[in-house]
Amino acid sequence: MLTYIVPFIILILVVVFVHEYGHYYFAKKYGVGVTDFSIGFGQEIIGWNDKYGTRWKICWIPLGGYVKFFGDRNVYSQTDQEKILKDYNEKDREKLFVLKPLYQRVLIVFGGPLANFLLAIAIFFSIYMFVGKDFTPAIINEVQKDSPAMVGGLKKNDIILEIDGNKVNSIMDVSKYITTSTGKIIDFKVERFDQEYLLKIKPNTVLSDDNLGNKINKRMVGIKLGAYNNKINHVKLGPAQALIHSVKEVYFVSISSLKYIGSMLKGTGDTSQLGGPIRIAKITGQVAEIGILPFISIMAYISISLGLINLFPIPMLDGGHLMFYAFEKVLGRPLTQKTQEGFFRIGMFLLLSLMFFTTFNDLKDLGLFN
């Protein structure tokens, strides 16, 4: 159990700290007072005050964190500014979040997800520069009999160039693009005898084991791959190329995640693959046993997920704040307190429903439900 819990806590501490520091950075930049910077919820384990009066602390429940602003009542609401003006003197008003211009409030709220994306970029950048990135072309060594690949026209010795419009730079990309595809048909662009062909493959979904031994519903087309000319091409990139590929990876993961969520909303996605903290802890522990590099890589992907989820337009999340600010920009005034409270109840219901569903999936994954 400790082999799962310790890596999970380390990962959560890092990605949550980076997220909250993004809020903190822009808050301090625009002169907003910060009274608390907390990693975790509940009772404080350890904490200290800095010279600016901010209480930095770590709490018992390591499933998130928060930055509390000076005079913070309800950061969604801008409707009680007259009362606020009466309660605070001129010097203190300068530190109030709710009195800041709209663009500053937007940047302070967006700073958290932005920091998560930047962390992922920094991790990929470091890996590509100091460890390297694989650029081995993918060639099909075998097409299984009566498989979707054979039916769709893929053949032995085909070189895979693109999958669903995504350029295949490496043999490693093939499995990634097939797994993250959401359509009923996967488009393969291949090179065969110096000519390019676009083939449409309808994958099978089978219950299989992933690389860590976990049961997953996996999309399979029925091919076995090899290195082109049996040569592995692993390259350490320069700073510019490393940055470009890092940004591309973050973009790909973000878009793929949104497509997956969209497929679930349409009823075509595999909801059994949606997991919560228990599954993340399990996978984090398994990856940590392999080595530090896979652990850092999974940290990048979790950081992207945290940044992306927080941008959903659901009250209680950063995206909920941004949604209210968008209304404020369009209407020229904040939404009424009653309207905001209505949105808040809807958001609470959605988050609790999601929490229940992911926890059920996690427990099912552990074999506690058949």
* Residue found by looking up tokens 């301090």 in the block: 28
CA pair distance 65, 346, nearest whole angstrom: 22
CA pair distance 290, 294, nearest whole angstrom: 7
User: 171-180 vs 239-265: helix axis angle to the nearest 10?
Assistant: 20
Question: In Å, how far from its chain's centre is CA 205?
Answer: 24
CA pair distance 183, 260, nearest whole angstrom: 10
Specify whether the CB–CB gap between 206 and 147 falls below 8 A: no
Residue 62's H or E segment, with its range, is: strand 55-69
Beta bridge partners of residue 143, listed in sequence order: 223
User: 337-365 vs 277-290: helix axis angle to the nearest 10?
Assistant: 50
CA pair distance 85, 94, nearest whole angstrom: 11
Specify whether the CB–CB gap between 18 and 123 falls below 8 A: no
CA pair distance 236, 127, nearest whole angstrom: 9
Catalytic residues: 20
Judging by beta carbons within 10 Å of its beta carbon (0-12, 13-18, 19+), is residue 185 exposed, middle or buried? Answer: middle
DSSP label of 272: G
Question: In Å, how far from its chain's centre is CA 312?
Answer: 12
